[in-house]
Structure 1
Amino acid sequence: MSRILLIALILGSFFAQGSWALQPAVSTLVDDETLHNAAELGSNAPIEIENFEIPLNLVDSDITQRLPKEVLESLVFKTPKGEKILRWPINPGDKTYYKRVEDYLKKMHVSTERHRYFTGYRTASKSLILEDPKSGAQFSIKVSTDSASGLWKDKQQTIAESKDARLVADYIDEIAANKKFKNVVVLDEPAMFSLAILIRRLL
């Protein structure tokens, strides 16, 4: 018997352009999330984020024109041969979901080498704030982890949830285009990348 495990990345919240240091608003967000959020207090120090490099043709994606070019170029790069590669971040502390991505890559005969490209910052919700060390682009990303705390210890990011988030983001953007919000700041989610992973289960 087999089942399909759905794993996805969802990009969202904000985009800032800078270099060498977080932009003031982003720095404040990281401080609030790690030092002042009672859900889970932590460190606001930068950390290295590991990532897989996956050929883009093995990944499903939903990318809107609202996604800044700098963010897309942080995640997707071209090899000297012209192949497009996606940097798939691994959530620090995760002990489950990255292994399933790794198994998928092995089945597809893709390297499982872990690379270190992004500088990252944690949030209380286990999203990550990422900074591109070359362009200075800063953005948030949510990737599966089993290392959360409280009532939501397991935070698998499924394709279904990511699709819902993308639909809601597009709906709100459409409303905002016709009537500007006066008292609401919209945290956009303009892109997602996903893998459908086949897992064998013996009866």
Structure 2
Amino acid sequence: MKTLTTILSLLILIGCGPKNQDQNQTDKRTELIPEPDRDTQSQTKKGQYGNEPKTKCNCDGLVDWRKDVKVKLFDQPNGQVINTLTHDIQGEDFLTFTIYDSQDEFFKVKIGRAIKGQQQTGWIEKEDYLGTYARNYSDNDTLFLFTNPDLKSKPTDTISKYYTELYTITDCEGKWANVIMKTTDKEFKGWIEPEMQCSSPYTTCN
């Protein structure tokens, strides 16, 4: 009877021994594998699904249709010329653009002819023929130019007369444009709000 008890005990030990050893090894491997870093997970998710970077500007303008100019398109500020753009004056197809960024003497734009031109993105030099028109068409419409791109900022100029001249764009912030316009006896300068801009070379904007 003692011999039978001994044999049964040995069989139980043999059956349980390897299982316990494998379990111990599994526990050790689990301890060696670190849990994913929560910050890393968040950064990866943001990188895959996050919003695209916002542009500095998103305002429209036109190349003065009265001037037969050649607009050089660069791959970067002071970089290589990738194209040279002109009006189709005979076909009355003029260059218009949207500004996305402003750096020193350059604008980053999407530019092309308004009717048939294919839009291209690149950098163009800031020139006095790049601008917008004002929309204060009647005597009842007063145009305010502001010190900052904010309706709550102080006006730099109050213009009650409608001028057909182009307001040259010198800088931008969102849909606001910083402009300058010279007449024979005065210079107007400041930020023009989006609702008072008209970038059409063909007609007034209602």
Same fold (TM over 0.5): no
The structure having more radius of gyration, on CA atoms, is 2
Shorter-normalised TM-score: what interval?
Answer: under 0.3
Higher relative contact order (CA closer than 8 Å, sequence separation 6+) = 1
